[in-house]
């Protein structure tokens, strides 16, 4: 009787050991997520259609931060955009709609409030501008689109750290390489910002690439020759939906395109 009891206890122990062994054998080892590819993210910029953008430009003057905010949706090829702007020193938010060569803005909204006969919106056909006028013309689309293409001028790309959805990379940017590497039609859309918004020489940039090899955030910070700190922080998200380019009524738009 005693021997039978010992045998039974041994059997239970063996079953327990076998169970633990089985659990140990079937426990899966958690593998780290694959490292996102900076090269693929750069190539994907040319494949993407549209994205929501959020951009903050910061300038520090006498220790005080002055910020400008841009939000909206853009087409990566520069063909469409709808941008909302909050700029320092302005009473009303700005709004910009780009449809091919046509740019519509609510630039006259304040004047319209004071004089109802003044249409609050303007329309400009950029094809009719002289070379000098085009150079001086503000290009809001170029400003928000250029950060996505800075990766085309990157060298010395290094992994800074992994994050929950992707990885942060640091790189050295050559602005001339950006414009010579990006396809000509798109380079024309970003050239003004690349030449005027950023240093003329090489500069550093930080990129967030997500787990699907998409460029999600670009941060560039530098100091002007006079020592003024500047930072441009741009995020791209919600990829794919069309850009809303619905215009206000025609009576609210004044065509300011040069004649002749």
pLDDT, tens only, 62-120 = 999 999 999 999 999 999 999 999 999 888 899 999 999 999 999 999 999 899 999 99
**What pLDDT score does 19 carry?**
46
Would you place residue 30 in the very low, low, confident or very high pLDDT band (cuts 50, 70, 90)? low
Statement: residue 24 has pLDDT above 60: no
Statement: residue 12 has pLDDT above 50: no
Would you place residue 13 in the very low, low, confident or very high pLDDT band (cuts 50, 70, 90)? very low
Report the topology of domain 38-255: outer membrane lipoprotein receptor (LolB), chain A (2.50.20)
Neighbours of 214 (CB within 10 A): 21
Token representation of residue 5: 């009891």
Pairing of strands 102-105, 229-237: unpaired
Q: Which residues partner with 66 through β-bridges?
A: 59
Side-chain half-sphere CA neighbours of 163 within 13 A: 14
- DSSP code at position 34: P
Ramachandran assignment for 156, one of left (phi > 0), alpha (psi -120 to 50 degrees), beta (any other)? left
Calculate the average pLDDT of the chain: 90
Distance separating alpha carbons of residues 135 and 198, to the nearest angstrom: 16
| Structural domain boundaries in the chain | 38-255
Distance separating alpha carbons of residues 218 and 208, to the nearest angstrom: 7
* Residue 125 contacts residue 101 (beta carbons within 8 Å): yes
- Taking only the tens place, the pLDDT of each residue in 237-250 is 999 999 999 999 99
pTM: 0.85
Contacts of 247 (CB under 8 A, 6+ apart): 97, 104, 121, 253
Instruction: Please tell me which residue, 18 or 29, carries the higher pLDDT value.
Output: 29
Of 151, 153, 237, 169, the C-alpha closest to 207 is 169
């Amino acid at each position: 009787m005693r021997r039978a009891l010992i045998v039974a206890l041994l059997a239970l122990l063996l079953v327990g050991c076998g169970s633990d062994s089985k659990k140990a054998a079937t426990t899966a080892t958690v593998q780290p997520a694959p490292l996102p590819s900076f090269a693929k993210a750069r190539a994907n910029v040319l494949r993407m259609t549209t994205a929501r953008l959020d951009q903050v430009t910061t300038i520090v003057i006498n220790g005080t931060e002055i910020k400008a905010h841009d939000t909206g949706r853009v087409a990566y090829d520069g063909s469409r955009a709808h941008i909302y702007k909050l700029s320092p020193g302005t009473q009303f938010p700005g709004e910009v709609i780009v449809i091919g060569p046509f740019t519509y803005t609510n630039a006259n909204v304040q004047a319209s409030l004071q004089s109802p006969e003044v249409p609050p919106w303007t329309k400009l056909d950029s094809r009719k501008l002289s070379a000098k006028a085009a150079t001086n013309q503000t290009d809001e689309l170029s400003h928000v689109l250029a950060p996505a293409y800075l990766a085309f001028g990157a060298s010395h790309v290094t992994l800074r750290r992994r994050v929950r959805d992707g990885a942060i990379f640091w790189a050295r940017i050559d602005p001339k390489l950006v414009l010579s590497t990006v396809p000509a039609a798109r380079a024309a859309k970003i050239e003004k910002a690349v030449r005027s918004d950023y240093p003329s020489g090489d500069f550093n940039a930080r990129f967030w690439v997500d787990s699907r090899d998409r460029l999600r955030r670009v941060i560039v910070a530098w100091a002007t020759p006079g020592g003024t700190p500047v930072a441009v922080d741009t995020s791209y998200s919600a990829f794919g939906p069309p850009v809303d380019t619905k215009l206000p009524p025609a009576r609210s738009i004044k065509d300011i395109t040069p004649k002749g």
